Amino acid sequence: MKPYLIRGALCVLGVAIISIGISFLRFAELGTDPYSGMNIGLARAVGISFGTWQIIFNAILLVVVFFADRSKIGFGTLVSMVIVGYISDFGLFIIQSILPPENIYIRVTGMLLGILLICVGATIYIETNLGTSPYDALALVAAEKLHRESLFRWFRIFTDAVCVLVAWLFGSTVGIGTLLTALCTGPLISFFRTLLRRILPKQDVSP
């Protein structure tokens, strides 16, 4: 029971770090990650908060994942569905009350910090192996259904491209932050996963 509680706590921590990273990207207004960018644009169009819309859209994707491969659904799936949007909204409120948004150097620093936090949080979240977020599961399930895991990155590029297009159509900011997130997330997560396993070689947080 104790190892599962540790994994659960680490999962929540990882998702919270991802959420704060998204807050910094939103503050910088230089482009967020593709999925958040799409949801920000759609939330504005519908007239509800980012956090509430994120839950609604994730619930729709969850139904798709449930029928495609329910093994991808777990505690981490539900955590990522519920808390990312709301923590991101709250984090953005705090950051905007502290940092001057007109300073471009602070905005660029916020963008880079946001990307770093997203990758660190994703590393912790993934290593707990407690389920995949509905959006992340789409490309993973598609590749596994075709028995070609090597196709995962291409499916992910496709889903990210669709998100960027929708974000742009609905007036969300698509910029250098979006591009850097798309290009750097995979390599940085791989690097941090390797680093984490070297730092904590004796800590078993996996099933």
Domain boundaries, the chain: 2-195
The residue that leads in pLDDT, 116 or 122, is: 116
Closest by alpha carbon to 28, among 110, 91, 93, 105?
Answer: 110
Instruction: Name the residue with higher pLDDT: 17 or 4.
Output: 17
| Spatial separation of the C-alpha atoms in residues 198 and 157, rounded to whole Å | 29
pLDDT at 205: 47
In this structure, of 6-15, 147-156, 171-180, the range with the lowest mean pLDDT score is 147-156
pTM of the model: 0.81
Instruction: Answer positive or negative: Cα dihedral of 168, 160, 32, 85.
Output: positive
Tokens of residue 106, six digits:
């602070």
Please list, in sequence order, all residues whose beta carbon lies within 8 angstroms of the beta carbon of residue 112, skipping any fewer than 6 positions away. Answer: none
Average pLDDT over the chain reads: 86
Q: Picking from 1-15, 84-98, 111-125, 161-175, which range would have the lowest pLDDT averaged per residue?
A: 1-15
201 — pLDDT class (breaks 50, 70, 90): low
8 Å CB contact between 181 and 118: yes
Q: What is the pLDDT of residues 24-70, one digit of tens each?
A: 999 999 988 889 899 999 999 999 988 889 889 999 999 999 998 88
Q: Which residues contact 155 (CB under 8 A, 6 or more apart)?
A: 138, 139, 142, 143
Confidence grade of residue 207 (pLDDT, cut at 50, 70, 90): very low
The pLDDT of residue 106 is above 90: yes
pLDDT for res 149:
65
Residue 101 pLDDT exceeds 90: no
For tokens 């993934």, the residue is 126
Evaluate whether 142 touches 155 at the Cβ level (below 8 Å). yes
Query: Lowest-pLDDT range, 19-28, 118-127, 196-205?
Result: 196-205
- Per-residue pLDDT, 12: 94
Question: What pLDDT shows up at residue 69?
Answer: 87
